[in-house]
Amino acid sequence: MYSFTEENYLKTIYKLSELHSKNISTNAIAQIIQTKAASVTDMVKRLSDKKLIRYEKYKGVSLTEKGKKVALDTIRKHRIWESFLHTKLKFGWDEVHEIAEQLEHIKSEVLIDRLDEFLGFPTRDPHGDPIPSKTGSIPKNTYKILADMMEDEQVVMNGVLDHSPIFLQYLSKLKLEIGTVLLIIEKIEYDNSMTVKINGKTVQLSNNVTQNILVIPDARK
């Protein structure tokens, strides 16, 4: 139906829309797709012809319902494949994304449904991101950013904002993963770093790190 490239553009526009709410600029897309602005202009014209996005010269783009469906479908596939790679093939959460970038473009509706069933209908991928349903509904994240939590609060890690392998590997080294319980010991005003306790061990997290960790208050506390 849609090409590898088209799906990547739509997915990118969807993800940018989640953050910005405004129309998405040519440059923003170019940066993520790792291409030139001129190429993006080319492509958005074609996507617009196919009624997948709305495009007005110099005004950026937004997804139509049709385009949003394709984007969510691609994200669904991506996250289900990531779950498969992680839970069945034992890939680390820092390794799954790159392979899933390829697998998400396999064309077969029944395949992804069977895989979903094989995995027991997971609701979140290895990074804590929600998996869109077949019909394209996706739970809104109500997570908080670790940096915004108060001293003495106990929280559970539930996701990350930065998905880069280097960041994920760093978290693994600290034994910080989805489900890990954190107790906030101290917030250092000077550099906005944070002292937290993880499994009884005290570690210092820079602001850069705490800004990229999503948490929920710990129910057990």
Partner DNA sequence: AAATAAATTTAGACTAACCTAAAAAAATAA
Partner DNA sequence: TTATTTTTTTAGGTTAGTCTAAATTTATTT
Closer by beta carbon to a copy of itself, 66 or else 114: 114
> Helices (DSSP H) in 21-164: which residue ranges?
26-33, 37-49, 65-87, 96-103, 109-118
End-to-end CA distance of the chain: 50
Among 102, 164, 169, 172, binds a copy of itself (CB under 8 A): 102
Q: What's the closest the beta carbon of residue 46 comes to DNA, in angstroms?
A: 6
| Binder of a copy of itself out of 91, 129, 184, 193 (CB under 8 A) | 91
CB nearer to a copy of itself: give 98 or 186: 98
User: How distant, in Å, are the alpha carbons of 79, 153, 211 from that of 104?
Assistant: 8, 38, 28
Judged by beta carbon distances under 5 to 8 A according to partner kind, the member of a copy of itself, DNA, Mn ion, none in contact with residue 125 is Mn ion
Asked if 38 interacts with DNA (CB under 7 A), we say yes
**CA angle, 60 then 46 then 74, to 5°:** 85
Among positions 64-93, residues that touch Mn ion (CB under 5 A) are 82
Interface contacts to a copy of itself, rule CB under 8 A: 85, 88-91, 98-99, 102-103, 106-108, 111, 114-115, 118
